[in-house]
Amino acid sequence: MAADMPLKGPGAAPYISWTGIYIGGSAGAAVGNMRDFCNTSASCVVNADDTSWIGGGHIGIQWQTGQFVLGAEAKWIATDLNPANSCPNANFTCSIHIDSYWTAGARLGYVFTPNSLIYATGGYAQSKIDRDGVSKATGVVVETWSATHSGWFIGTGAEFRVAGTGWVLGVEYNHIDFGSKTATGSPPLSEITSVKATVDTFQARASYLFNWWGR
Evaluate whether residue 113 is within a structural domain: yes
Taking the C-alpha atoms of residue 210 and residue 9, their distance in angstroms, rounded to an integer, is: 32
Q: Looking at 39-53, 97-111, 120-134, which range is the least confident one?
A: 39-53
| Residue 83 DSSP symbol | -
Evaluate whether residue 41 is within a structural domain: yes
Q: Which pLDDT does position 11 carry in this prediction?
A: 43
With H, G, I as helix, E, B as strand and everything else as coil, classify residue 1: coil
User: Cβ distance 195 to 34 under 8 Å?
Assistant: yes
Taking the C-alpha atoms of residue 51 and residue 80, their distance in angstroms, rounded to an integer, is: 8
Evaluate whether residue 131 is within a structural domain: yes
Evaluate whether residue 102 is within a structural domain: yes
Q: Provide the CB-side half-sphere exposure for 137 (13 A, CA).
A: 4
Q: State pLDDT tens for residues 153-200.
A: 999 999 999 988 899 999 999 999 998 877 776 666 666 777 889 999
Evaluate whether residue 143 is within a structural domain: yes
Q: Which pLDDT does position 187 carry in this prediction?
A: 64
User: Cβ distance 129 to 181 under 8 Å?
Assistant: yes
Evaluate whether residue 181 is within a structural domain: yes
With H, G, I as helix, E, B as strand and everything else as coil, classify residue 150: strand
CA 176 to chain CA mean position, Å: 7
User: Cβ distance 197 to 34 under 8 Å?
Assistant: yes
Taking the C-alpha atoms of residue 27 and residue 77, their distance in angstroms, rounded to an integer, is: 9
pLDDT at 215 over 60: no
Q: Total structural domains in the chain?
A: 1
Give the domain extent around 140: 18-210
pLDDT at 95 over 90: no
Identify the residue with better confidence: 129 or 201.
201
Q: State pLDDT tens for residues 34-60.
A: 877 766 555 565 567 889 999 999 999
User: What pairs with residue 91 in β-bridges?
Assistant: none
Say which CATH number the domain at 96 has.
2.40.160.20
pLDDT at 123 over 50: yes
User: What pairs with residue 116 in β-bridges?
Assistant: 113, 160
Identify the residue with better confidence: 83 or 209.
209
For the chain, percent of residues with pLDDT exceeding 90 = 54
Phi-psi region of 112 (alpha: psi -120 to 50; beta: other; left: phi over 0): alpha
Q: Which pLDDT does position 5 carry in this prediction?
A: 44
Evaluate whether residue 99 is within a structural domain: yes
Taking the C-alpha atoms of residue 39 and residue 42, their distance in angstroms, rounded to an integer, is: 8
Evaluate whether residue 159 is within a structural domain: yes
Q: Looking at 9-18, 143-152, 172-181, which range is the least confident one?
A: 9-18
Going by C-beta distance under 8 Å and a sequence separation of 6 or more, which residues neighbour residue 12? none
pLDDT at 151 over 90: yes
